Amino acid sequence: MNDLKDFHDTSIAFGYKTDYELKRAYFLFKLLTYPLLAYIGKHVLSFLIYIRFPIDFIIKKTIFEQFCGGVNEKDCYKVMNKLNQNNIKCVLDYSVEGSDTENDFENTLKRTLNLIDLIRKEDLTSFIVFKPSAVGRFDLYFKKAENLPLKEIEIAEWKRVEDRFDKICAKAEKNSISVLIDAEESWIQEPIDNLIEKLMIKYNKKSCIVYNTIQAYRSDRLEYLKHMHIRLADFNVKIGIKLVRGAYMEKERERAKTNNYKSPICETKFITDENFNNCMNYMFDNLHDFHLFIGSHNEKSNILATKIMSRNQLRNNDNRVWYSQLFGMSDHISFNLALNGFNVAKYLPFGPLRDVIPYLIRRLDENTSVSGQTSRELDLISNEIKRRALKD
């Protein structure tokens, strides 16, 4: 047990970055401090991609290398090895979005199953992740969520979606790999929650294979968590939960306003933070049943989790608790946690350059709009650059 006070030792945080990589990160985050420039840049980028303007090299050398591990799994090995040397695992994330056809869904399935073989062989990580919308049609989830009658052809389609979830979890179980299932828009989540609960009952008896995601910005999630806990109590299973705040706030609010229903999102950031802490506390209080994967760049949330672990006399490397940040962001949190013996896994997105653009644009958005985050990242990088210059 070990109390972490803060994450500000930049020599630990950026030890694995070369001077060039550090300066590139500085340049990028500096640009993001100018919201207007970032806004224009984002739209110009989308336009240039749309007209197939040859800017791949520039994207690759800037945002792509900052936020992605490579274009394919093998490309990611270099980053994975570097992180592994610092006791940080990776969650390889094939971040291609916009799947819409059965062909796309089957490809994602095939790719995810191959990925399990690959990471098992290389022994570099113990998690994989997928998005429900990458293995099933968004409108089908929506129909299920709304209890709308399915046509015969859609009943068969839903069965294929269930099969894809099952095949991934079955293979993961066989290879002792855990599966994180991302959460997306609230209006498709209910059938996904139900499906994942069934998979937990099937695969989480001996160890925690299947993890659902709780978005704490949804005001109903603590209740959901408690009810799920009661529902699963009789099955003697481990409940895997990835806890995040949630990434679709503006979209959720807009839809609620347009369709005139109460927004499912907490009214303020403060309430989201409270909800996040309450969900986290609930799971730590019931750790005999839960496995917790904390996905956050919030320093306070991460420190709080380490404090609760210390108070509850848990070992830092208790295998029921994992911490995670996205690659290219909040290295100071990941590296300091890992150095203190906590379990850390970085989400490592990869995919063909043009196909991961939506993911990259979301990162630009997040780093521009989340108050404090960019300037914090920038201060840390700049301190490290100064520290290295003084040392030389």
Ligand X SMILES: Cc1cc2nc3c(=O)[nH]c(=O)nc-3n(C[C@H](O)[C@H](O)[C@H](O)COP(=O)(O)OP(=O)(O)OC[C@H]3O[C@@H](n4cnc5c(N)ncnc54)[C@H](O)[C@@H]3O)c2cc1C
Q: Which residues bind ligand X (CB under 6 A)?
A: 182-183, 213, 215, 217, 244-249, 265-266, 268-269, 272, 295-298, 301, 324-326, 347, 370, 373
Cα dihedral across residues 326, 138, 219, 234: positive or negative: negative
Residue 98 vs 149, nearer CB to ligand X: 98
Give the separation between CA 104 and CA 111, rounded to whole angstroms: 10
State which residue, 74 or 300, has the beta carbon closest to ligand X: 300
Please give the C-alpha separations between residue 141 and each of 34, 62, 237, 257, 288, in angstroms, as whole numbers: 38, 36, 26, 21, 32
Tell me how far apart the alpha carbons of residues 303 and 307 are, in angstroms, rounded to a whole number: 6
To the nearest whole angstrom, how small is the minimum distance from the Cβ of residue 326 to ligand X?
5
For residue 211, the cross-strand partners are 180, 240
Min dist CB 299 to ligand X, Å, is: 9
Nearer to ligand X, 20 or 270 (CB): 270
Q: How far is the CB of 319 from ligand X (least distance, A)?
A: 18
Rounded CA separation 230/314 (Å): 24
Dig out the tokens for 124 from the structure: 């570099």
Q: Which is nearer to ligand X, 173 or 185 (CB)?
A: 185
Nearest-approach distance from CB 93 to ligand X, in angstroms:
9
Distance between CA atoms of residues 90 and 247, nearest Å: 20
Nearer to ligand X, 280 or 313 (CB): 280
Distance of closest approach, residue 362 Cβ to ligand X, in angstroms: 9
Compute the least distance from the CB of residue 236 to ligand X, in Å. Answer: 27
What string of DSSP letters covers 227-265?
A: HHHHHHHTTT--EEEEEE--S-HHHHHHHHHHTTS--SB
Nearer to ligand X (CB atom), residue 16 or residue 248: 248
The helix or strand, by DSSP H or E, that contains position 57, with its residue range, turns out to be: helix 56-59
- CA 383 to centroid of chain Cα atoms: 27
Which residue of this chain has its Cβ atom nearest to ligand X in the complex? 295
